[in-house]
Structure 1
Amino acid sequence: MEGVTRLRGGWTSQMRRLEVRGPGGRRWLVLRSFTKPFYVRHADGLLTREADVLRLLAETPVPAAELVAVDATAQYCGHPSLLMTLLPGSVRLEDSGAGRRADVLARQLAGIHRLPVEGAARPRTYQAWTSPERVGRPEATARPELWERAVDVIRREPPPYEGCFLHRDFHPGNVLFTGDGGDLRISGVIDWVETSWGPADLDVAHCSTALALLHGVDAGMAFAGRYAAEGGTLSGDRAAHLYWRLLDALAFAPDAEKVAVPWRELGRSDLTPAVLGGRLEGYLQALFERYV
C-alpha cells in the first residue's frame, strides 16, 4: 500500500482510493466500507448483491468497476467492504452543461434497462423506499392539500409493469463523466448495491427527482422525454407513470436533506434545505399538472 485518499460524495459508505504496488506494478483501487450501523446490519445482502452485479456487468457494455474482492461480513476487514478497480472521470453536479449531461444520462439508463438478464442472474424485485405512512410532510408548507393528494396516489396497489434490470439508484451523483461538449461521455456508473428488477419508470423517476432537486423542476420534468428519445420504454398509462414518479419523489420528503449532504460536499453549497424543499414541492405540482 502506497497511499490512501478519502473520496468525497458518499453517504451510505466510506469510499477510499488506494494506491497499491504489486508484482504487476502500480494500480489504483477503490475500497467501499459500510460503517453506519444500519448499513453494517444489511451489509451482507448489499455488498454481496453489488459483487454479483459487478461480475455480471463485466460482460456488458455498461462502464462499471471490476470486482477485486468482497468481505461482506467483515471477516477480514474492520468493516464490511468491497474492493474494486478505480474508474476514470468525475461526478459533475454543476448547473452549467446539465442539459447535455441529462441526454447522456438518458442514453446510458436506456442501455442498462436493455441488458438481457435472465434466470438466476436476475436481481431481486424492487423495494419501495417509502409508503403513505412514512412520508414526511414539510411542516411549513403552504400547500398541505398537494401533499395529501400525492400521498393518496401511492395508497393504491402498484400498477402492473413489464420488468427490466434496474440500477435503482441512478442519478448524477452515481455517474462519472469525462470530456466536454461533443466529447462528453460516461466513464463509469457506480453504486450497484440496490440493483433490482422492476419497472423502467421507477429508475427514470429516481433520476428525474434528482435532476429536479439539483437543477430545478424543469430539468426533472424533461428527463422522461429524454429517456424516451433514446429508445427507452415507459408505461403508456399516465396514471401508472404518475404513481412511480410520486413513489420516488415522496421518499425524499420533507426537504431532501439526505441527498444534499454529499452534493454540498461536492460543491453545491446552494442546495439548502429551503431550496430543496421548494423544488420538491414544485416538482410534485408539476407532475400533477402534466399527468392528470
Structure 2
Amino acid sequence: MTDDDAAAVLPSTLAWVGRQLAAGERIVGIEALHGGITAEMRRLTIAARDGRTRDLVLRSFVDPFYLEHAEDWLARETGALSLLAGTGVPAPGLVAVDPTAAQCAYPSLLMTHLPGRPVLDDEGVETRVPLLARQLAAIHAVRPVERPRTYVALTTADTVVVPRGADAAAWAAAIDVIRRPPPPYAGRFLHRDFQPGNVLFDLPPHGPAGARISGVVDWAAASWGPADLDVAHCAVNLALLHGPAWGLRFPEAYEEAGGVLAAAASERLYWQVRDALASSEEVRPVARQWRRAGRTDLTTRTVEQRLDAYVTALMDALG
C-alpha cells in the first residue's frame, strides 16, 4: 500500500474494519478505486496467518455535499445487498455497515470484492449490450419480500439544463412531457443506477466475444418503480458513451432478453425522456468521471452534443 492510500483512511475507520475480520487476519494493502462520484472507494487486501489473502471494498461518504444523504443511501444499499444474497444476481456480499459514523470517521460500508472491471470502450459494445440487457432483466425478476422505497425521479421541468446550441423546440417539447403525471406502472425491484460504470466485466484475453458480467455494484439507490426507468437510465448512458443509436437500441435488447416494458409507446417514451433530461444536470461531472476512466474523447461538449441528439431522436419518435 502507498503511504497516501493508507493515510487517507483514518485510524478510527481502520480500527472498525479490523473488528470485522476473522482472528489472525490483518490489512496488508489499501488501494484507491476510481470511478465513483458520491463516495470514496478503496480495495483492502486482507491477509490471514497462513498467508492466504482476500479483498474487501470500503465505501465511505466523505464529501460534505453527499454526507446528508449517506445514512439513507447506506440503508438502501445494505438492504439491497442482503436481499440479493443467494439470488444469482452478482452483487457484493455485505460484511458490515456504519451508516451514521458511530465508529468510523465517515459513514461507511464494508463489502466483498468482486472480480472484473467496468468497460467503457466503444470496442465490443455490440457484445456487451445484450449482456447488460439480460442482467437488468434478471434484476427486475427479483421479488423482494419487503419492497424498497419508491424511486426518486431526480429531475423536474424547472431543473433541466438545456445544452448550449441544443434543438430548442425538441427540448421544450421534452420538458413538456415530464410536466405530465407519470403513467401507471407495474412495480419492479430497481437498481436505479444500472449503467456500464456500475457493471463489472470479466474479459477473456482473446477478445470481447467471450465477455461475461462478473458483478453489479453501487446499490445505494435501489428502489421500487417501473422497469422502464432502469432501462431508460442505462439507455441514456449508452447513448452518451457510444452514440445515440446505442441508447435507442437498448430497450429492444431488454425486451429480447425477456424484460417487459410499458405496453404503450407513449408511456415508454415518457420514462426515456425523463431520464434523458435528468442526465442534463450531470453532464460535466459524468464526462469528467469517464475521462478519468480513460475515455479522453468524451469532453463535456461531446457529451452535451450526444445528449442533444438523443433527446431529439426520442422526440422524433414521439411524433
TM-score bucket of the superposed structures, by smaller chain:
over 0.9
Verify the 8 A CA contact 1:254 1:277 in the aligned structure 2: no
What residue is the counterpart of 1:154 in the other structure? Answer: 178
**What are the equivalent positions in structure 2 for 1:206-245 lying under 5 Å apart?**
206-245=233-272
Structure 2 unpaired stretches of 5+: 1-26
Instruction: Tell me which residue corresponds to 2:187.
Output: 163
2:196 to 172, 175, 179: 172
Measured on the aligned residues, the alpha-carbon RMSD in Å equals 1.3
Q: Take 1:192 and 1:142, find their aligned partners in 2: how far apart are those partners?
A: 33
TM-score (norm. length: structure 1): 0.96
> Normalized against structure 2, the TM-score is what?
0.88
> Whole-Å Cα distance in 1 between the matches of residues 300 and 272 of structure 2?
21
Deviation at 1:142, TM superposition (A): 4.7
Most deviating of 205-214 and 232-241: 232-241
**2:42 is matched with which residue: 2, 10, 16?**
16
Secondary structure of 1:2's aligned partner: strand
Amino acid across the alignment from 2:185:
Y
Deviation per residue, 1:207-229 (Å, 9 max, x gap): 00000000001011100000000
1:2 alignment partner, one of 28, 37, 62:
28
Letter paired with 2:161: G
What is the rounded CA distance, in whole Å, between the counterparts of 2:138 and 2:173 in structure 1?
A: 34
CA distance in 2: counterparts of 1:32 and 1:124, whole angstroms: 22
Q: Which residue of 2 aligns with 1:199?
A: 226
- Counterparts of 1:269 and 1:232, CA distance in 2: 33
Report the count of equivalent residues.
Answer: 289
Larger Rg: 2
Out of 107, 119, 123, the residue aligned to residue 96 of structure 1 is 123
Deviation of the 1:255 alpha carbon: 6.9
What is the aligned partner in structure 2 of residue 125 from structure 1?
A: 150
In 2, distance between residues paired with 1:46 and 1:142?
34
- % identical equivalent positions: 51
Which residue matches 2:55? 28
Check 1:142–1:58 CA distance in 2 against 1; reply closer, same or farther (3 A cut): closer
Alignment partners' CA distance in 2, 1:7 and 1:284:
32
Task: Indicate the residue corresponding to 2:12 in structure 1.
Answer: none
Q: Distance in 2 between matches of 1:117 and 1:195?
A: 12
Alignment counterpart, residue 161 of structure 2, candidates 131, 136, 161: 136
Indicate the larger mover: 141-150 or 216-225. Answer: 141-150
Distance across 2 between alignment mates of 1:137 and 1:186: 35
Q: 1:290, CA displacement in angstroms?
A: 2.2
Corresponding position of 2:15: none
Output the CA distance in 2 between the equivalents of 1:255 and 1:116. 31
